[in-house]
Amino acid sequence: MNRSVMAEDKGMLFIFAKTDRYDFRMKNTLIPLDMLRIDENGIIVHSATAQPCEADPCKIYDPGILAKYVLEINAGIAAKYGLQE
């Protein structure tokens, strides 16, 4: 949150205790991010690019997909490295 830049080799991995639906919003996020939802087997089950929230209410990113992990990286990195469902 509140970062205007992020190195290409950096990101944030959310590790949840159980597989479930997890929604995200981009409040206080200043850069677009690729969000990769990953199942308990390490398989990418959904990918999307999320845009910064410019005003409340912020868009909620909920694809309705079950996942155990969510990886956030700079927008465009997933395509660059062929990370897809």
| DSSP string over 11-72 | -EEEEEEEEEE--EE-TT--S-EEEEEE-TTS-EEEEEEEPPP-SSSPPEE--S-EEEEEEE
Structural domain including 20 reads 12-80
If DSSP codes are grouped into helix, strand and coil, which group holds residue 74? strand
Burial 55-65 (b: 16+ CB within 10 A, else e): eeebeebeeee
Please report whether residue 85 resides in a domain. Answer: no
Please report whether residue 22 resides in a domain. Answer: yes
| pLDDT at 44 (0 to 100) | 98
Please report whether residue 3 resides in a domain. Answer: no
Number of domains comprising the chain: 1
Please report whether residue 59 resides in a domain. Answer: yes
| pLDDT at 1 (0 to 100) | 83
- What global pTM score does this model have? 0.93
For residue 30, what are its two tokens? Answer: 């200043």
| pLDDT at 13 (0 to 100) | 98
Q: To which residue do tokens 């944030």 refer?
A: 12
* In contact, 46 and 36? CB cutoff 8 Å: yes
Please report whether residue 32 resides in a domain. Answer: yes
Please report whether residue 7 resides in a domain. Answer: no
Low-confidence ranges of the chain (pLDDT < 70): none
Please report whether residue 42 resides in a domain. Answer: yes
| pLDDT at 51 (0 to 100) | 96
| pLDDT at 77 (0 to 100) | 97
